[in-house]
């Protein structure tokens, strides 16, 4: 018995010595879960597996800022109608916790908390109190406003204003990635591309293109209305739809065009982007000097929903289709 006790003591000491010689780096084995008192009475299969870390999401916005999210945003504030339309088109309406007062499409957006106009001022205290994961800004917000929101601890992504339809597709892709709707974004992009291709195919057969004047606002001076010139999406879509924008000769995307210039160009079609504010074909015909224009005489002064173009979201393709049908109705019978 005495020898056996000595042998046991020797074996224990040997085990301690060998244990001390084991390297500090642990062997790569799966750790045993920590079992609480409650969990101890549960079957082993009910223990939750170790969660796989989710890779963070990074994207560069229209101001060149790198924006990082730890996970797809689930609480989103939209500061512009175009962003609201993009979010709903991607199936993320339930993730939108607040939107600006001009976001009136789709109709479901009306049920989202209205934070007022975000055109000139932002209520930072209100935005912070809503505890968003992501604030989607747009061209109507200045870099200074974006900086102020960032300083207040908000994660802000400034969605760039697209110049081409391809830019629109890029916006849809990056927003889809930020909010966890990548499959929906990919499907929407493919659908939009197919519709655009269908219009392009029809317009490729066109040899005669009508001259067009697109009126944005004539409330200040009906003899010198505001219009969309080169570099605007209006100009790009008019051209792609098979028309010729008479304001393409101007020096800026947004400018006033005098009656003399309009008379000299004598457009075949006048589109009233300001119809939403009460401008009608009849009121245009009553303006001094406008009655002799071809578009007026041939009754081709047409109200147009400017929201389709001025909001750079998925409905830009609706605008393209509608313009093409106005310019070339014979191709869409």
Closest CA to 171 of 181, 183, 184, 185: 185
Token pair listed for 75? 């609480």
How many structural domains does the chain have? 2
216 and 130, same structural domain?
A: no
CATH at residue 254: 3.40.50.1980
191 and 275, same structural domain?
A: no
- Mean pLDDT value across residues 245-260: 96
User: Residue 30's pLDDT is what?
Assistant: 35
Question: Is residue 78, in this structure, part of any structural domain at all?
Answer: yes
169 and 216, same structural domain?
A: no
Q: Which domain holds residue 213?
A: 207-332
Question: Is residue 20, in this structure, part of any structural domain at all?
Answer: no
242 and 309, same structural domain?
A: yes
**52-70 per-position pLDDT tens digit:** 455 799 999 999 999 999 9
User: Residue 15's pLDDT is what?
Assistant: 38
184 and 64, same structural domain?
A: yes
162 and 125, same structural domain?
A: yes
Question: Is residue 115, in this structure, part of any structural domain at all?
Answer: yes
218 and 139, same structural domain?
A: no
Question: Is residue 175, in this structure, part of any structural domain at all?
Answer: yes
User: Residue 160's pLDDT is what?
Assistant: 93
Mean pLDDT computed over every residue of the chain: 87
Domain boundary among 142, 173, 199: 199
218 and 94, same structural domain?
A: no
Question: Is residue 35, in this structure, part of any structural domain at all?
Answer: no
Question: Is residue 1, in this structure, part of any structural domain at all?
Answer: no
Is the predicted pLDDT of residue 9 greater than 90, yes or no?
A: no
User: Residue 120's pLDDT is what?
Assistant: 77
230 and 146, same structural domain?
A: no
195 and 229, same structural domain?
A: no
Domain boundary among 151, 178, 199: 199
In this structure, the strands spanning 57-60 and 66-69 are antiparallel
Positive or negative torsion for Cα 65, 177, 122, 216: positive
213 and 193, same structural domain?
A: no
**136-148 per-position pLDDT tens digit:** 999 999 999 999 9
260 and 128, same structural domain?
A: no
Question: Is residue 307, in this structure, part of any structural domain at all?
Answer: yes
Is the predicted pLDDT of residue 22 greater than 80, yes or no?
A: no
Question: Is residue 320, in this structure, part of any structural domain at all?
Answer: yes
**163-214 per-position pLDDT tens digit:** 899 999 999 999 999 999 999 999 999 999 999 999 999 999 999 999 999 9
Domain boundary among 179, 199, 219: 199
């Amino acid at each position: 018995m005495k020898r056996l006790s000595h042998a046991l003591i020797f074996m224990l000491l040997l085990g301690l010595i060998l244990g001390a010689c084991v390297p500090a780096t642990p062997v790569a084995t799966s750790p045993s879960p920590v079992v609480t008192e409650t969990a101890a009475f549960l079957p082993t299969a009910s223990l939750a597996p170790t969660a796989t870390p989710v890779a963070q999401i990074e994207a560069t916005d229209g101001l060149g800022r790198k924006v990082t999210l730890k996970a797809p945003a689930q609480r989103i504030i939209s500061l512009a109608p175009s962003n609201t339309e993009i979010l709903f088109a991607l199936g993320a309406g339930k993730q939108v916790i607040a939107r600006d007062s001009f976001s009136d499409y789709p109709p479901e957006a009306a049920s989202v908390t209205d934070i007022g106009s975000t055109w000139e001022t932002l209520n930072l205290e209100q935005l912070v109190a809503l505890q968003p994961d992501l604030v989607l800004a747009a061209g109507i917000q200045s870099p200074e406003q974006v900086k102020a929101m960032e300083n207040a601890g908000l994660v802000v992504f400034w969605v760039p204003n697209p110049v081409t339809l391809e830019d629109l597709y890029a916006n849809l892709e990056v927003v889809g990635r930020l909010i966890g709707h990548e499959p929906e974004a990919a499907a929407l992009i493919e659908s939009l591309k197919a519709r655009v291709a269908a219009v392009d195919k029809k317009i490729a057969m066109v040899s005669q293109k009508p001259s067009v004047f697109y009126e944005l606002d004539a409330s200040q001076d009906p003899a010198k209305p505001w219009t969309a010139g080169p570099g605007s999406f209006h100009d790009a879509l008019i051209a792609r739809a098979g028309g010729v924008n008479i304001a393409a000769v101007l020096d800026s995307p947004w400018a006033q065009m005098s009656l003399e210039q309009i008379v000299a160009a004598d457009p075949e079609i006048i589109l009233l982007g300001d119809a939403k504010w009460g401008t009608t074909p009849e009121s245009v015909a009553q303006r001094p000097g406008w009655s002799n224009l071809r578009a007026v005489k041939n009754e081709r002064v047409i109200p147009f929903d400017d929201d389709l173009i001025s909001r750079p979201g998925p409905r830009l393709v609706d605008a393209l289709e509608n313009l093409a049908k106005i310019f070339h109705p014979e191709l869409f019978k």
